[in-house]
């Protein structure tokens, strides 16, 4: 596929060439090029293949999409559009730069029972199973054990032997290792062909531990445990930033939805496929440790009928890092979507949304200060690293990919324009600067009033109201209303709070719309009994050079996960052994209950003390730190630096972390003032006014109700016109 560098091409009118690899179905053919358009279905492509390759028309064929990140196959439904799936691929895959590892389409034959025929796969599985049984019975020699696939089997279990075993397995590209029912995954940062149908079939309905450790085994055990016990299951994924948590989630969700299908991907899986790039664009960012770090936690719940058929799914998000919107540390970026929009928008969109270069936005240029570039083309050939570009990424292609993914989830073109317009408004809002008036100490003014009309136009609010809300606050006292000017620091805080609240509301709305697309009508039927498997993908433990309130919340969440792990793996298991009279030597483990109590136990936990100080107008960072010292100076899980440093140190299960106290109070009370809420609710744009301060479910229900009454009125009007025409003819 050719990409026009002169501007963004529209997919609808373009003809693309699909390379279909028939494999053993057509001996001697490596691949067959098939022309197709965006709306061409898989059934139409297969018909073209049958005619081109002169295949047996009595057999049933399907298309399979192979993913670069592991060789797993996604079977396309007859109505799926291969070109749309192809446009979600990375640019390098479209240009065939990845030899032997690229994304591709395969032609597969379908069996009479609905399963997919993989040729020699069945015989390979039979031989593998027979060899395993022969070794178990002693007829074949056991392979020399150089490593252990379950750390519980180590003869001498200590930190050194544990790490050495993991290292030896990793050297042989064995990235998965069990610890009982827990799976350890080490990120290989390269392609490993261990996710294709051969492995899907191998782990189908096998007991955990019988075969080589694999993430498919965990998904399979959860699925069959749910069906057999009729109880909901949950898979928890935890690890450091960059350890591959999100990719592991993708493998699990793909396998969990595919397990209930006869080869074909479900509609739920199709929507999740489109939802992934959308959530990634709005919720991921480049950090110092990871170029594509998830800056929010998510819980994905796949719902099933009692028979094991997928019904629908649900996504819940946690702890979106709102502060990243207004400030980023060194060598970090804002959320991906801003860079996608600035690089990929058409000239018409750039004019309509008043888009500039990234250096011209305060929310994007705080770290790197460089001469302005004339266009995004200059970035492609700049060898000097900066905070705007990441090696190997194509922002224009990523923007097109995002547009298509939003379309797959159900976002109409008008909705997409409203979202991009709001993103531009947030960026321009960050450019508003303040200064003190010379003749009054407490009064402030806006340095660059030319920005106000742009923000006013994008938010569709009155410019005068916007100005008043940004420089003054309204206070109601007994019998009168007072209008008081903000101090300089207060005004900056209000501006940033407005931007963060807008972005957070937009992210909540996007998650809600994705959930509506994932919802199945059967979920609403009271008589339908459902089961579910949940996958929790949350931040890893973080310890940066400068740690603030965000890392405090993230690490507390990980502390709770570790406590859950301790309770279920050590404490409850050992109590059960004692209750059953089993001879057992207790295993000592680090109990982190004291650390959790330090942070959250009422009334003296750090979070509760923070809430108290946040409600005192005269409180400062120092008074908050003093309160921490007064209450917990004797606690062994918290330390205070010897020098007069505004910080405290928590002894977490993963190690000590120093947190700077700066902005703890401000971030804890991060909400919009009523003046700002009233301003945004007055917007003429129903999309913006509906998002602010109102439950998105209520907004959606009202939209459905409004659409219903409009349809009824339109139907009645059409009926009246029909009667009038009929009467006129008579």
Residues 6 or more apart whose Cβ sits within 8 Å of residue 63: 20, 42, 45, 46, 75, 76, 80, 82, 105, 106, 107, 108
Q: Report the half-sphere exposure of 525 (CA within 13 A, side-chain side).
A: 10
> Any catalytic annotation for residue 424?
no
Contact (CB, 8 A) for 292 and 284: yes
End-to-end CA distance of the chain: 60
Catalytic residue, chosen from 40, 250, 293, 496, is 293
> Any catalytic annotation for residue 290?
yes
Shortest CA distance to 241 belongs to which of 558, 504, 548?
Answer: 558
Please count the other Cβ atoms lying within 10 Å of the Cβ belonging to residue 376: 18
Please count the other Cβ atoms lying within 10 Å of the Cβ belonging to residue 249: 20
Report DSSP letters for 458-503, one per residue. HHT--HHHHHHHHHEEEEEETTEEEEEEPPHHHHHHHHHHHHHHHH
CA separation, residue 437 to residues 112, 443, 446, 696 (Å) = 81, 6, 10, 41
> Any catalytic annotation for residue 242?
yes
Q: Quick check: helix, strand or coil at residue 161?
A: helix
> Any catalytic annotation for residue 297?
no
C-alpha to C-alpha distance for 39 and 26, rounded to whole angstroms: 26
Shortest CA distance to 561 belongs to which of 569, 551, 572, 550?
Answer: 569
Catalytic residue, chosen from 540, 558, 559, 613, is 540
C-alpha to C-alpha distance for 183 and 193, rounded to whole angstroms: 19
C-alpha to C-alpha distance for 214 and 199, rounded to whole angstroms: 9
Phi, psi at 729, each rounded to 5°:
-65, -35
> Any catalytic annotation for residue 660?
no
Catalytic residue, chosen from 246, 456, 497, 558, is 246
Alpha helices, DSSP H only, in 5-53? Answer: 42-53
Contact (CB, 8 A) for 607 and 599: yes
Beta bridge partners of 304: 310, 531
Nearest-Å Rg of the Cα atoms of the chain is 29
Q: Report the half-sphere exposure of 357 (CA within 13 A, side-chain side).
A: 14
Local structure of residue 4 (DSSP, 8 states):
-
- For strands 310-318 and 297-305, give the pairing: antiparallel
Catalytic residue, chosen from 332, 542, 559, 613, is 542
Catalytic residue, chosen from 294, 515, 520, 547, is 294
> Any catalytic annotation for residue 109?
no
Contact (CB, 8 A) for 686 and 418: no
Which residues belong to the annotated binding site for ATP? 239-246
Which residues belong to the annotated binding site? 239-246
Please count the other Cβ atoms lying within 10 Å of the Cβ belonging to residue 165: 20
C-alpha to C-alpha distance for 693 and 492, rounded to whole angstroms: 21
Catalytic residue, chosen from 26, 165, 238, 241, is 241
Contact (CB, 8 A) for 72 and 66: yes
Shortest CA distance to 419 belongs to which of 507, 511, 320, 316?
Answer: 507
Catalytic residue, chosen from 290, 291, 621, 635, is 290
What is the side-by-side strand order in the sheet with 638-639?
A: 638-639, 647-652, 655-660
Shortest CA distance to 446 belongs to which of 422, 472, 475?
Answer: 472
Q: Annotated active-site positions, please?
A: 241-242, 246, 290, 293-294, 540, 542
């Amino acid at each position: 596929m050719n990409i026009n560098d002169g501007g963004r091409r529209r997919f609808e009118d373009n003809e693309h060439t699909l390379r279909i690899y028939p494999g053993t179905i057509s001996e001697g053919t490596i691949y067959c090029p098939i022309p197709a358009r965006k709306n061409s279905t898989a059934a139409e492509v297969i018909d073209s293949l049958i005619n081109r390759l002169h295949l047996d028309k009595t057999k049933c064929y399907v298309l399979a999409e192979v993913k670069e990140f592991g060789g797993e196959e996604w079977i396309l439904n007859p109505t799926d559009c291969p070109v749309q799936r192809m446009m979600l691929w990375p640019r390098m895959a479209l240009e065939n730069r990845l030899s032997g590892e690229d994304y591709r389409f395969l032609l597969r034959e379908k069996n009479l029972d609905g399963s997919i025929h993989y040729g020699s796969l069945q015989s390979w599985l039979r031989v593998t199973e027979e060899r395993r049984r022969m070794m178990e019975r002693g007829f074949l020699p056991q392979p020399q054990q150089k490593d252990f696939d379950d750390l519980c089997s180590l003869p001498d279990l200590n930190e050194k032997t544990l790490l050495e075993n993991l290292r030896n397995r990793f050297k042989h590209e064995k990235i998965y290792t069990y610890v009982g029912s827990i799976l350890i995954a080490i990120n290989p940062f390269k392609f490993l062909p261990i996710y294709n149908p051969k492995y899907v079939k191998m782990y189908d309905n096998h007991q955990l531990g019988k075969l080589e450790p694999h993430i498919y085994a965990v998904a399979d055990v959860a699925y069959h445990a749910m069906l057999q016990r009729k109880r909901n299951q949950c898979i928890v994924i935890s690890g450091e930033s960059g350890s591959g948590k999100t990719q592991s989630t993708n493998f699990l969700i793909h396998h969990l939805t595919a397990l209930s299908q006869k080869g074909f991907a479900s509609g739920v899986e199709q929507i999740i496929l489109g939802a992934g790039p959308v959530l990634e664009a709005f919720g991921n960012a480049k950090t110092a440790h990871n170029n594509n770090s998830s800056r929010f936690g998510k819980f994905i719940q796949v719902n099933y009928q009692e028979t094991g058929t997928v019904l629908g799914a649900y996504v819940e998000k946690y702890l979106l890092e709102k502060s990243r919107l207004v400030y980023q540390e060194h060598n970090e970026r804002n959320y991906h979507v801003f860079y996608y929009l600035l690089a990929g928008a058409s000239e018409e969109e750039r004019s309509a949304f008043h888009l500039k270069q990234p250096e011209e936005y305060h929310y994007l240029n705080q770290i790197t200060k460089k001469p302005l570039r004339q266009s995004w083309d200059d970035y492609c050939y700049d060898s000097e690293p900066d905070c705007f570009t990441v090696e190997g990424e194509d922002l224009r292609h990523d923007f097109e990919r995002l547009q298509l993914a939003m379309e797959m989830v159900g976002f109409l073109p008008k909705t997409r324009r409203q979202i991009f317009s709001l993103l531009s408004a947030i960026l321009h809002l960050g450019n508003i600067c303040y200064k003190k008036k010379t003749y009054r100490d407490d009064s402030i003014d806006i340095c660059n009033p030319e920005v106000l009309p742009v923000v006013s136009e994008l938010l569709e609010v009155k410019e005068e109201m916007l100005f008043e809300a940004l420089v003054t606050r309204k206070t109601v006292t007994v019998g009168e209303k007072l209008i008081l000017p903000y101090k300089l620091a207060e005004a900056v805080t209000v501006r940033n709070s407005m931007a963060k609240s807008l972005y957070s509301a937009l992210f909540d709305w996007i998650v809600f719309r994705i959930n509506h697309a994932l919802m199945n009508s059967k979920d609403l039927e009271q008589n339908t009994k459902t089961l579910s498997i949940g996958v929790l993908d949350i931040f890893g433990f973080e310890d940066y050079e400068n740690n603030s309130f965000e890392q405090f919340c993230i690490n507390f969440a990980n502390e709770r996960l570790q406590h859950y792990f301790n309770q279920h793996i050590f404490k409850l298991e050992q109590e059960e052994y004692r209750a059953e009279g089993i001879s057992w030597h207790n295993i000592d483990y680090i109990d982190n209950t004291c650390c959790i109590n330090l942070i959250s136990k009422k009334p003296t936990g750090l979070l509760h003390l923070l809430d108290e100080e946040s409600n005192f107008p005269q409180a400062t960072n120092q008074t908050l730190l003093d309160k921490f010292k007064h209450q917990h100076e004797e606690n062994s899980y918290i330390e205070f630096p010897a020098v007069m440093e505004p910080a405290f140190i928590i002894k977490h299960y993963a190690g000590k972390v120093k947190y700077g106290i700066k902005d703890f109070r401000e971030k804890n009370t991060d909400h919009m003032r009523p003046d700002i809420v009233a301003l945004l609710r007055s917007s003429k744009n129903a999309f913006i006014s509906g998002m602010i301060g109102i439950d998105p479910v209520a907004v959606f229900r009202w939209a459905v109700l409004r659409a219903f009454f409009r349809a009824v009125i339109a139907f009645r009007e059409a009926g009246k016109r029909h009667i009038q025409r009929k009467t006129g003819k008579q």
